[in-house]
Structure formats: C-alpha cells, structure tokens
Amino acid sequence: MTLKHLALAAVLAFGTFPALAQQAKVAFGELNQDTTLPVEVTADRLAVNNADGTAVFSGNVLVTQGEMKLSAAEVLVKYAPDQKAIDQLVATGGVTITNLGDAAEAQEAVYTIDTGVIVLTGNVLLAQGPSAMTGQKLTINLKDGTGIMEGRVTTTFVPGGN
C-alpha cells in the first residue's frame, strides 16, 4: 500500500476531514498515460457527419489508447476545427474505463484528448483492487495519473489489502 493510499484510508476511516465526504483525490492506473499514443476505435456501426465534424460509433464500442480501454454503447467523436485530429470523445450508455488494474463505470464520460482529462458523470463507481469508491463525478487526469471524485463520495476499502 502506498503512502497516498494509507493517508486516504486513514482519513476516510477516521473521518478527520469532513470536507472529504464531498470530494476525494484518487490515483488512477498507477501510471502516467501517454495521451499522444494512437486512439483506436472499434464498433458495430459508424456514422460520419462532415458538416459538423463529428462521427458516431455505436454498438459494442471499444476505444483503446495504450493500456487504457473505454467501452460504451455509443461514442461521439468530435474533431478539432482543422478536422485533422480528435478533440473529444463523448461516451454514453454503460461506460467502463480500465487502466491496468483500475476500473471506473459511469453513465457518461467525456475524454478531451489534448488535456488528457476524462470526466465521468452519473453513478460513478471506481474499483481499485479490493477497494471501491462511488460518487456522481470523477475527473481523471491521465497525464499525472490522478483523479478527483465528487458528489456524496462513499468508499469501501480492505485494510491491508491495498
């Protein structure tokens, strides 16, 4: 168990900082994701709209970038104004994101490629080994491997198991 995990566990177990009930910092994936790696998307269907610079992947969508995987029922791809790069991925319908041993589930996720930030909203569940945390919003920064859970945060941890 890392010092960061011990500190979080102690705070959550003993309630010494009541403000953390609404917001908690977490590590995600134990690595710094290289957000410049290629993004691969597979799905059952693809619809492209050149007029507004979007594409919609639907049906068993799987997005991979390095070790990170995102699955959802539908992913809207928003391209940069020059149409040469992906700006954002907006995933809906049973979103699951995995990175090494960590997994997060939510109703929706917005991944902004350039910043390396993923914002998950709606009944968010973060599982890290035997520990779990729930809230309404999880913001993950893939460049530094950290995240912030917000909105009536609840955590379950196994002492000595992290």
Q: CA 29 to CA 55: how far, in whole Å?
A: 28
**CA separation for the pair 88, 78 (Å, rounded):** 5
Q: Which pLDDT tens digit goes with each residue over 25-52?
A: 555 555 456 777 888 999 999 999 888 8
pLDDT of 17 > 50? The answer is no
Q: What is the pLDDT of residue 100?
A: 78
- Indicate which CATH number applies to the domain containing 78: 2.60.450.10
Q: What is the pLDDT confidence band of residue 90, given thresholds at 50, 70 and 90?
A: very high
Higher pLDDT, residue 122 or 39:
122
- Tell me if 35 is assigned to some domain: yes
- Give the pair of three-digit tokens for residue 100: 């090494």
Average pLDDT, integer, range 130-147: 87
Using CA atoms, how far apart are residues 74 and 76, in angstroms rounded to an integer?
7
106 within a domain of the structure (yes/no): yes
Across 37-145, where does the E strand assignment appear? 40-42, 45-49, 54-65, 68-79, 86-99, 102-112, 117-128, 131-141
162 assigned to some structural domain: no
Average pLDDT over all residues of the chain: 79
DSSP string, 9-57: HHHHHHT--GGGGTEEEEE-TTS---TTS--EEE-SEEEEETTTTEEEE
Percent of the chain surpassing pLDDT 90: 37
Amino acid identity, position 32: N
Asked, for residue 137, whether it belongs to a domain, the answer is yes
What is the amino acid identity at position 70?
L
Is 161 inside any structural domain?
A: no
| pTM for this predicted structure | 0.76
Alpha-carbon distance of 108 to 122, in angstroms, equals 7
Number of domains composing the chain:
1
Q: Is pLDDT of 19 > 50?
A: no
Range of the domain at 12: 3-156
